[in-house]
Amino acid sequence: MEPILDNNRKWVKEQRAADPDFFNRLADGQQPKYLFIGCSDSRVPASAITGTGPGEMFVHRNIANMVVHTDFNMLSVLQYAVEVLGVQDIIVCGHYGCGGVAAAASNKQYGLIDNWLTNIRDVIRVHEMEFLRISDDDLRLRRLVELNVIEQVRNLAKTSIIQNARKTSKPPRLHGLVYDIKEGLLTDLDVEDDMISELNHIYGTSAQQYAAQVVEQETDQSSLTAGKPELTDEQSEPEKPRKGEQRVARQNQQAD
Ligand SMILES: [Zn+2]
């Protein structure tokens, strides 16, 4: 532990020399503009790679930068950041070479963590054909890192906290970034805001209103096919995706 404490003393000395008021100012409180949700990986230090200092970025990290709707730790951080600190931008930051993402796509089991990794396997499920069509192992995992970030940004948009914030005059903007450990560079994946907004009809408070439109459309379609002979179970056509599922598929194509 000695190197850690020595480094701390050295850092305090340097900070005081550069800015005598540095610690007093921070002690007064924080008003960070950003919430950063990143991976716990030691090679992805949130402040260093974004050039932000103390007081500028609220940070939550977990294995593979996940936004899981039953994770009360993440939800508490998100609520506090949005409703109390009033952050303006929320960043989900993945990174190439992510061990969590690689583990989720591997053929091994790791114990308890497999249940966490199941959330990444859900990302594979949603984008399975794109994932499988990439023949190069490294490129496939790199794309999975990006798809995971995109889905975690969508997961953010689904939370009651972001849904409610969107009813206010200054909702936070959501971003998906990926960090390249080899290059040290961040890339914005440009997760489209209108695509995220399309989730509102389900994850906001208008799901029943939307359901009424689906029923209406399905009734119209069934009256058009009323003259067709009925199929037996063996012959029956595969169930067509509902409108919401088609919409998600379209979003996925847009993101691909
Ligand atoms: Zn990682």
Closest CA to 130 of 5, 252, 42: 252
Residues of the binding site: 39, 41, 95, 98
- 147 within domain boundaries: yes
Quote the pLDDT of residue 227. Answer: 55
16 occurs within a structural domain: no
Provide the percentage of residues in the chain whose pLDDT is more than 90.
Answer: 74
- Condensed to tens digits (0 to 9), the pLDDT of residues 109-136 reads 999 999 999 999 999 999 999 999 999 9
Residue 233 in domain: no
Strongest mean pLDDT among 157-171, 183-197, 210-224: 157-171
- pLDDT per residue as tens digits for the range 6-33: 999 999 999 999 999 999 999 999 999 9
Provide the pLDDT for residue 198: 73
DSSP string, 164-188: HHTTSSSPPEEEEEEEETTTTEEEE
**138 Cα to the center of ligand 1, angstroms:** 15
Question: Is residue 119 a part of any domain in this protein?
Answer: yes
| Cβ atoms 179, 94 nearer than 8 A | yes
CA separation for the pair 88, 226 (Å, rounded)? 53
Number of domains, the chain: 1
The boundaries of the domain holding residue 47 are 27-207
* Segment 46-96, tens digit of pLDDT: 999 999 999 999 999 999 999 999 999 999 999 999 999 999 999 999 999
For residue 241, the CA-to-ligand 1 centroid distance in Å is: 34
**Centre of ligand 1 from the C-alpha of residue 42, in Å:** 9
Residue from 95, 142, 143, 175 carrying the catalytic annotation: 95
93: which strand partners?
38, 177
Long-range pairs, 25-31, Cβ under 8 A, ≥24:
25/55, 26/54, 26/55, 30/55, 30/58, 30/85, 31/55, 31/85, 31/86
* Residue 49 belongs to domain with CATH number: 3.40.1050.10
- In the structure, what pLDDT confidence band is assigned to residue 190 with cuts at 50, 70 and 90? very high
3-state SS record for 195-236: HHHCCHHHHCCCHHHHHHHHHHHHHHHHHHCCCCCCCCCCCC
Ligand 1 center–CA 190 separation, angstroms: 20
From the annotation, which residues make up the binding site for Zn(2+)? 39, 41, 95, 98
